[in-house]
């Protein structure tokens, strides 16, 4: 068993969940190093606190390499859940992950009706929250590439290009850097679109004086990057500059609060209090950030209600924003931080100074 299994089992003991079924392909990849997408078929990793994990898997998914677990095969005419049920200890609570399809869980409940079932997804989510050395290196490299993509993208922010064209450009630049998969649809939002944090890319054209929110991320060797910069086409108004500088300072204050011993909500509050002080509190309408790793959004919000004490190895975003729909102004600035023993390492090096993208003379 590898170190990650060991950490999961320690957590199981801590939280009194003696046995666990894991079905989320991301969690299975995390533990075995292998992506397996079973479609509608059963794929279940059974972990008992005494060790010797088992993966119940359909014969249609032959595995050549050693996944570090015993493979229990079934075929399309067998009842995989019944096979799985034979490994389950009768008299103990059964942890289930939230992604397990109801059709499998209900079948198991039929087979073992007297058992107590609990949602135990957090056991693995909490282990995944603390990045190991290999993951830290991958997160660093993923963000290093994201910095370069941002740098190459910004000169393309010009009058006349649509949001969609700019978003396609983002994907092309990632591809040039060997990144085939974005961690989410790139946000390339102008003015009114920028003022809507949930804006979907459309055919609006950039024009001089627009603020442009660029929120981009890609997967490098399965690890996500995510950063946001807001730039201005050709010129910037005093009002836009004022908003920009407030968000920039709020982001810095959030980053400064990202250290072991503080709580996640302290990061949120550091950014939020500053924006409130400046009179824009009600225009900062979302949480300050989210954890990130194998998925763009992982367990562990940077929000005002998360009192979890920050630990070394955590990785999350700090991304305050101010959105003024009536004025068509939206500014968000986002960096990723990796928590160290006494503070944090900011994974994005790309400048947060205000950028006005120069336009060609017509
Ligand atoms: Mn983000």
- Residue 362, pLDDT > 60, answer no
CATH of the domain at 106: 3.40.350.10
- Are 40 and 176 found together in one domain? no
- Are 136 and 242 found together in one domain? yes
**Cα(7)–Cα(183) distance, integer angstroms:** 27
Distance 165 CA to ligand 1 centre (A): 22
For 4, the token pair is 């990650």
Distance 312 CA to ligand 1 centre (A): 20
For residue range 125-162, list pLDDT tens digits in order: 999 999 999 999 999 999 999 999 999 999 999 999 99
The parent domain of residue 163 ranges over 130-357
Distance 91 CA to ligand 1 centre (A): 43
Q: Which of 111, 128, 145 is the last residue of a domain?
A: 128
- Are 10 and 48 found together in one domain? yes
- Are 155 and 45 found together in one domain? no
Quick one: average pLDDT of 77-103?
95
For 150, the token pair is 């941002």
Distance 97 CA to ligand 1 centre (A): 25
Total structural domains within the chain: 2
- Are 166 and 269 found together in one domain? yes
Any alpha helices (H) in 237-356, and if so which ranges?
A: 238-257, 264-277
Distance 302 CA to ligand 1 centre (A): 11
Give Cα 321 distance to the centre of its chain.
18
CATH of the domain at 161: 3.90.230.10
Name the phi and psi angles at 36, rounded to 5: -130, 120
- Residue 1, pLDDT > 90, answer no
Quick one: average pLDDT of 84-107?
95
Query: Is 250 inside any structural domain?
Result: yes
- Residue 198, pLDDT > 90, answer no
Distance 319 CA to ligand 1 centre (A): 7
Distance 320 CA to ligand 1 centre (A): 10
- Residue 361, pLDDT > 70, answer no
For residue range 216-238, list pLDDT tens digits in order: 999 999 999 999 999 999 999 99
- Are 100 and 194 found together in one domain? no
Quick one: average pLDDT of 190-202?
94
Q: Which of 107, 128, 149 is the last residue of a domain?
A: 128
- Are 108 and 231 found together in one domain? no
Distance 357 CA to ligand 1 centre (A): 23
- Are 92 and 51 found together in one domain? yes
For 264, the token pair is 């996640």
Distance 301 CA to ligand 1 centre (A): 11
pTM comes to: 0.95
Exposure string of 303-331, with b = 16+ CB inside 10 Å and e = fewer, is beebeeebeebbbbbbbbbbbbeebbbbb
For residue range 265-291, list pLDDT tens digits in order: 999 999 999 999 999 999 999 999 999
Any alpha helices (H) in the chain, and if so which ranges?
A: 3-14, 25-32, 80-85, 102-111, 121-129, 133-153, 163-176, 191-194, 238-257, 264-277
Quick one: average pLDDT of 185-193?
96
pLDDT at site 63:
94
pLDDT band at 79 (very low <50, low <70, confident <90, very high): very high
Query: Is 362 inside any structural domain?
Result: no
For residue range 301-342, list pLDDT tens digits in order: 999 999 999 999 999 999 999 999 999 999 999 999 999 999
Distance 334 CA to ligand 1 centre (A): 7
Distance 336 CA to ligand 1 centre (A): 8
Query: Is 214 inside any structural domain?
Result: yes
- Are 100 and 137 found together in one domain? no
On average, the pLDDT of the chain sits at 96
Distance 227 CA to ligand 1 centre (A): 6
Distance 241 CA to ligand 1 centre (A): 23
Distance 322 CA to ligand 1 centre (A): 15
DSSP class of residue 334 equals B
- Residue 13, pLDDT > 90, answer yes
Distance 121 CA to ligand 1 centre (A): 22
Distance 226 CA to ligand 1 centre (A): 5
Q: Which of 80, 107, 128 is the last residue of a domain?
A: 128
């Amino acid at each position: 068993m590898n170190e990650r299994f060991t950490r999961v089992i320690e957590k199981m003991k801590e939280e009194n969940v003696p046995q666990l079924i894991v079905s989320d392909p991301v969690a299975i990849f995390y533990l075995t190093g292998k992506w397996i997408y079973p479609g509608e078929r059963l794929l279940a990793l059974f972990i008992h606190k005494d060790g010797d994990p088992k993966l119940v898997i359909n014969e249609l998914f032959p595995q050549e390499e050693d996944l570090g677990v015993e493979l229990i095969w079934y075929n399309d005419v067998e009842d995989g859940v019944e096979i799985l049920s034979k490994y389950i200890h009768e008299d103990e609570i059964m942890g289930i992950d939230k992604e397990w399809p109801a059709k499998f869980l209900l079948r198991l409940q039929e087979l073992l009706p007297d058992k107590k079932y609990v949602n135990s997804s957090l056991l693995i989510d909490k282990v995944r929250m603390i990045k190991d050395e290999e993951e830290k290196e991958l997160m660093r490299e993923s963000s290093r590439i994201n910095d370069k993509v941002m740098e190459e993208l910004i000169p393309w922010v010009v009058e006349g290009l649509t949001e969609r064209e700019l978003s396609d450009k983002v994907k092309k630049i990632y591809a040039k850097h060997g990144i085939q998969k974005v961690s989410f649809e790139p946000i390339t939002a102008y003015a009114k679109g920028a003022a809507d944090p949930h804006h979907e890319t459309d055919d609006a054209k950039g024009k001089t004086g627009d603020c442009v929110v660029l929120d981009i991320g890609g997967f490098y060797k399965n690890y996500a990057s995510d950063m946001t910069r807001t730039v201005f086409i050709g010129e910037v108004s005093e009002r836009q500059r004022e908003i920009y500088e407030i968000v920039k300072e709020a982001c810095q204050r959030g980053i400064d609060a990202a250290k072991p011993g503080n709580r996640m909500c302290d990061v949120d509050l550091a950014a939020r209090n500053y924006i409130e002080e400046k009179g824009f509190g009600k225009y900062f309408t979302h949480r300050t950030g989210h954890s990130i790793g194998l998925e763009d959004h992982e367990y562990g919000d940077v929000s005002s209600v998360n009192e979890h004490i920050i630990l070394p190895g955590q990785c999350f975003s700090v991304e305050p924003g101010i959105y003024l729909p009536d004025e068509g102004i939206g500014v968000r600035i986002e960096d990723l931080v990796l928590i160290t023993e006494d503070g944090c390492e900011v994974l994005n090096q790309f400048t947060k100074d205000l950028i006005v993208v120069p336009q060609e003379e017509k």
